[in-house]
Amino acid sequence: MHIHLISNVILICLIYFFDKEVKQWFKKDKKYFLYLCFSVIGSNAIDIDHLLANPIYDPNRCGINYHLLHSWYTMPLWVIGLLFKNKFLRYFCLGVLLHLGLDWIDCLLMF
């Protein structure tokens, strides 16, 4: 779980350095930047689907394709979310895709 949170902080830093509009938000009004932080870190909320699994946590189980929001069927939704104009939604979806990428790497290292 720590790797997900650390990667989200790194993603927020990268967004800040490469997105000029976000940098202006930060200079003008910090609340918009906080909304961005909450939307990226909030992308970890997709782990709520673990509550539907039995057992809820299994260290020897690959989460990709086992949990509903971690399936190959929902990944196109997260990619489509990157195309929306709303930056908060786009960065939320980017955070989710980063989360799924880290889960996928975890699955590869498991076998």
Whole-model pTM above 0.85?
no
Residue 81 pLDDT: 94
Residues in the chain, total: 111
- Residues 57-108 have pLDDT tens digits of 888 888 898 999 999 999 999 999 999 999 889 999 999 999 998 889 888 8
Residue 83 pLDDT: 95
C-alpha distances in Å from residue 56, one per residue of 15, 37, 44: 33, 27, 16
Residue 1 pLDDT: 54
